[in-house]
Structure 1
Amino acid sequence: MKLVLQEFLSLDGVSQGPGSPDEDTSDGFTRGGWFVPHLDEEFERLAGTWLGRADAFLFGRRTYANFARDWPKMTEHPAAAILNGLPKYVASQSLTKAEWNPSTILSGDVPAQVAEVKRQPGRELQIHGSARLAQSLLTAGLIDELRLAIAPVVVGTGRRLFPDGGAPAGLRLVSNETTSRGLSVHIYESTGRPEYGTYGA
């Protein structure tokens, strides 16, 4: 399977708490919900298309807990059957059980276990959010494609997908589009290490 990261970002790179004020208040974060004012039907249709390509999902512990709490109750939502029915993997060193079936806990050497899951037949293994997990898998060179939805807002504080000191990565732009409410959607393929050069004659 191809490992695909789908992430909501602010213009200044924040990925923390896009969906609501109380989604992720870790480290004292109080500016959650910054992505929601920019949602529109156009983006929801696009996200639904992406979801239809999934054969399994991979989550970090916090995102898994939020999804496992909410999605089993949202049976009327068009995405519910996919999210509730497909295999789910959660990367965690602390969870001992995962009750949002079918779910499997990955602990210990998570990158090695994710690499093993990728070798299974299928289309896409999708990461939704889970920025800390995404950072570790980018460092390990395991992410094949990034789908970044960038909102026209500067949050000013919060955890970033690409923090200072993060691993360098080369990318190739596959497509980009803008929605009616200003979301800029960029799709990139990973190309390995970045290239460097010198400007001038």
Structure 2
Amino acid sequence: MRNVVLYELVSLDGVAEEPGEGNWFIDSDQRLMDNLAEVIARQDTVLLGRRTYEKWAPHWPASTMQPFADFINTTPKILFSSTALHPTWSATTQVTGNAAANVADLKRRAGGDIGIHGSLTLAQALLREHLVDELRLVVSPSLAGGGRRLFDDTGDLQRFSLVSADRSGGCLLLHYRRRDA
């Protein structure tokens, strides 16, 4: 059984909206990139929502930010959107059906971890359905004050166990695993 791993940058008050737009993500160092490399090394599939896809598809093919650029440009991506799109980004397949059912099916197949990066609406939908097995959170030492929060509307009680905690500058690198996984 494959694991769905949610990797998100969040502020102390839980905002996970695009960090560059609110300038709330601060105070990290090389350990952040090392942590990201550890996370993506186990992933062979990435799940994206429409808004994240529309922002990332024009950006990442020309990016030199490693290790993420090579990873996201070559790894198979599943785009969940009910809007008819014509994905042009390499290794992208669009799914218009029920995300939870599709992800549950993906989890039963052989392979590495399934990553979610960004894509708050999709992340929240999968959390509501108890389909997220691991949380890899980078907590920035700032209060964003406003913006979409990761843990709004995530359904009923879910319990996770702390696997590890580390630092990158003033940021916390937190790794949690679902208790019933």
Cα separation, partners in 2 of 1:165 and 1:148, compared to 1, 3 Å:
closer
Cα separation, partners in 2 of 1:94 and 1:164, compared to 1, 3 Å:
closer
Give how far 1:173 is off: 0.8
Question: Mind listing any 5+ residue stretches in structure 2 that lack a counterpart?
Answer: none
Contact 1:138 1:167 in 2 (8 A): no
Q: Secondary structure at the match of 2:179?
A: strand
Q: Secondary structure at the match of 1:105?
A: strand
Contact 2:5 2:113 in 1 (8 A): yes
Contact 1:171 1:191 in 2 (8 A): yes
Q: Does residue 1:173 correspond to 2:162, yes or no?
A: yes
In the alignment, the residues of structure 2 paired with residue 156 and residue 41 of structure 1 have an alpha-carbon distance, to the nearest angstrom, of 27
Contact 2:8 2:16 in 1 (8 A): yes
Q: TM-score of the superposition, structure 1-length normalised?
A: 0.83
Q: Secondary structure at the match of 1:150?
A: strand
Q: Does residue 1:33 correspond to 2:34, yes or no?
A: no
Q: Secondary structure at the match of 1:38?
A: coil
Larger radius of gyration: 1
Q: Which has the higher contact order (CA 8 A, sep 6+)?
A: 2
In the alignment, the residues of structure 1 paired with residue 93 and residue 75 of structure 2 have an alpha-carbon distance, to the nearest angstrom, of 11
Query: CA-atom RMSD, angstroms?
Result: 1.7
In the alignment, the residues of structure 2 paired with residue 75 and residue 10 of structure 1 have an alpha-carbon distance, to the nearest angstrom, of 25
Q: TM-score of the superposition, structure 2-length normalised?
A: 0.91
Give how far 1:127 is off: 0.3
Q: Does residue 1:10 correspond to 2:22, yes or no?
A: no
In the alignment, the residues of structure 2 paired with residue 165 and residue 2 of structure 1 have an alpha-carbon distance, to the nearest angstrom, of 18
The aligned length equals: 179
| Mapping 1:60-99, distance limit 5 Å | 60-74=49-63, 77-99=66-88
Contact 1:89 1:105 in 2 (8 A): yes
Letter of the structure 2 residue corresponding to residue 148 of structure 1:
L
